[in-house]
Structure 1
């Protein structure tokens, strides 16, 4: 189902990922229970088979072991909890689940207000300098492929 993405991941130097760091299904279920919704299928596939990645000085947020979740800045739920603690954030972005915050003037997030028939959330790009939000990809798999293509010249 994600063969094209898996092939790109084998050959890319744009995205740094570490083999053998996939997450356990029980960790995903625990995170979903707290969030109150299922994570998109392509993101779940990524988490189980790859689990992590670095790009442009930032990490694509993943799910870490529960015992590290209270302080791991690469954990999706940890970052979400920090965001929820900010009242302005909740009122301005009630359906935003951060995904990737590179060392730049943009951030990428799942828009959890709508999903397609497969359960995929669109990934939005928030241009912090201009305070603009645009759709970047329709699925997490498309998001990763686009990042790889843009950073690889492909």
Structure 2
């Protein structure tokens, strides 16, 4: 199902990922239970098979082992908890679940207010300098492919 993406990941130099660091299914389920919804299928696939990556000085957020989740700033749930603690952020972006915060003037997040027939959330790009939000990709798999294509 994700053959094209897997092929791109084999050959890209834009995205640095480290084999053997996939998330365990039980970790994913724990995170989903706290979030109150199921993560998108392509993101679950990524988490299970790859789990981590760096691009342009930023990490694509992952799910860390539970014993590190409260202190690892590359963990999806850790960042979500920090965001939830900021009232202004929750009121402005109630359906935002960050997925990639590069060292730049933009960030990428799942828009959890809408889900397609396959269970995917769109990925939004928030241009921090201009305070603009646009749809970047319709799925997490498309998001990764586009990042690789743009930076290769």
TM-score by length of 2: 1.00
2:25 is the alignment partner of 1:25 = yes
Q: Deviations over 1:26-83 (max 9, x none)?
A: 0000000000000000000000000000000000000000000111000000000000
Q: Which runs of 5+ in 2 are unaligned?
A: none
* Alignment match, 2:60: 60
Q: Which runs of 5+ in 1 are unaligned?
A: none
> Root-mean-square deviation (CA), in Å?
0.2
TM-score by length of 1: 0.98
Counterpart CA distance in 2 for 1:131 and 1:27 is 34
* Alignment match, 2:119: 119
2:96 is the alignment partner of 1:92 = no
Q: Please state whether the residue corresponding to 1:125 is helix, strand or coil.
A: strand
Map of 1:1-154 to 2, 5 A cutoff?
1-152=1-152
Counterpart CA distance in 1 for 2:150 and 2:90 is 31
Cα drift, residue 109 of structure 1:
0.1
Cα drift, residue 22 of structure 1:
0.5
Task: Tell me how many residue pairs correspond in the alignment.
Answer: 152
